[in-house]
């Protein structure tokens, strides 16, 4: 597990411990995911003015029309991506503030995270250095295209909603690799796509609400 800067300010380990207990009550059972959620200081990924709300189970704005997902959905998507396996390389589409990437970095050997908004990449790169998260590679690019240079991936996590699974991303999955994403426009569900040889199995899960996945860069 990655070393994160200790001590870290206004929220004690006890506060994060309460969040982890709530996640367990909500059905998150993967001990590695629960440990990751307890290790990553969520309050450092949001504006200081919102820091007192960091461990509530709610999404919060991070600027540029983007949000940091609520702790439950971050844990849920990480648990679905891991599926009890040891993860080597993971791709995240939609870095945002970097919180989901930081959690994934606790359960995977390497995380490649791609973000279309250059300003967010710059902010997150600085935060990543401060927290010494050395196994995350941040990329500024079009998430719809994924990052073929790093493929294949044991898991791909898409932190924004789209009406269909981007074909380019499916091809970047390793055998038995899992893609986890919110599927849909106004009405969204969590989707898991598993690669089996040349085919893909799809499983639709609970309703979710994410910002839309946009093509291109800005």
Over residues 123-131, the mean pLDDT reads 90
Structural domain includes residue 68: yes
Structural domain includes residue 200: yes
Based on the residue annotation, tell me whether 69 is a catalytic residue of this protein: yes
Distance in angstroms (rounded) separating the CA atoms of residues 133 and 151: 21
Question: Which range of residues forms the domain containing residue 67?
Answer: 13-208
Structural domain includes residue 48: yes
Look up the pTM and report it: 0.91
Q: How does the average pLDDT of the chain come out, rounded?
A: 90
pLDDT at residue 6 in the model: 45
Structural domain includes residue 125: yes
DSSP conformational letter for 4: -
Q: What is the CATH number of the domain that holds 48?
A: 3.40.50.150
Structural domain includes residue 4: no
DSSP conformational letter for 144: G
Identify whether the C-beta of residue 182 lies closer than 8 Å to the C-beta of residue 160.
yes
Q: What is the pLDDT of residues 155-170, one digit of tens each?
A: 999 998 999 999 999 9
Structural domain includes residue 104: yes
Q: What angle do CA 148, 149, 154 make, to 5 degrees?
A: 65
Structural domain includes residue 214: no
- Please give the biggest Cα pair distance in the chain: 49
Total number of domains constituting the chain: 1
pLDDT at residue 82 in the model: 96
Q: What is the pLDDT of residues 184-194, one digit of tens each?
A: 988 999 999 99
Over residues 200-208, the mean pLDDT reads 95
Q: Of the residues 69, 113, 134, 218, which is catalytic? A: 69
Residue appearing with tokens 């989901």: 100
Identify whether the C-beta of residue 137 lies closer than 8 Å to the C-beta of residue 150.
yes
Residue 148 has pLDDT above 90, yes or no: yes
Structural domain includes residue 140: yes
Over residues 101-125, the mean pLDDT reads 95
Both tokens of 215, joined, read 């093509």
């Amino acid at each position: 597990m990655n070393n994160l800067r200790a001590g870290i300010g206004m929220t004690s380990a006890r506060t994060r411990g309460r969040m982890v207990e709530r996640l367990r009550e909500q059905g998150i059972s993967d001990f590695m995911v629960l440990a990751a959620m307890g290790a990553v200081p969520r309050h450092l990924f949001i504006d200081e003015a919102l820091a007192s709300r960091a461990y509530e189970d709610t999404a919060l704005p991070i600027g540029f029309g983007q949000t940091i997902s609520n702790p439950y959905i971050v844990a849920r998507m990480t648990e679905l991506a891991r599926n009890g396996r040891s993860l080597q390389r993971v791709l995240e589409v939609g870095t945002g503030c970097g919180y989901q990437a930081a959690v994934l970095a606790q359960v995977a050997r390497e995380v490649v995270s791609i973000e279309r908004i250059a300003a967010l990449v710059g902010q997150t790169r600085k935060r990543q250095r401060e927290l010494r998260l050395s196994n995350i590679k941040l990329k500024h690019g079009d998430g719809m295209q994924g990052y073929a240079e790093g493929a294949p991936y044991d898991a791909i996590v898409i932190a924004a909603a789209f009406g269909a699974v981007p074909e380019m991303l499916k091809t970047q999955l390793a055998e038995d690799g899992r893609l986890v994403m919110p599927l849909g426009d106004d009405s969204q569900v969590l989707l898991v796509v598993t690669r089996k040889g040349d085919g893909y199995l799809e499983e639709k899960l609970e309703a979710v609400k994410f910002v839309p996945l946009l093509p291109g860069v800005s």
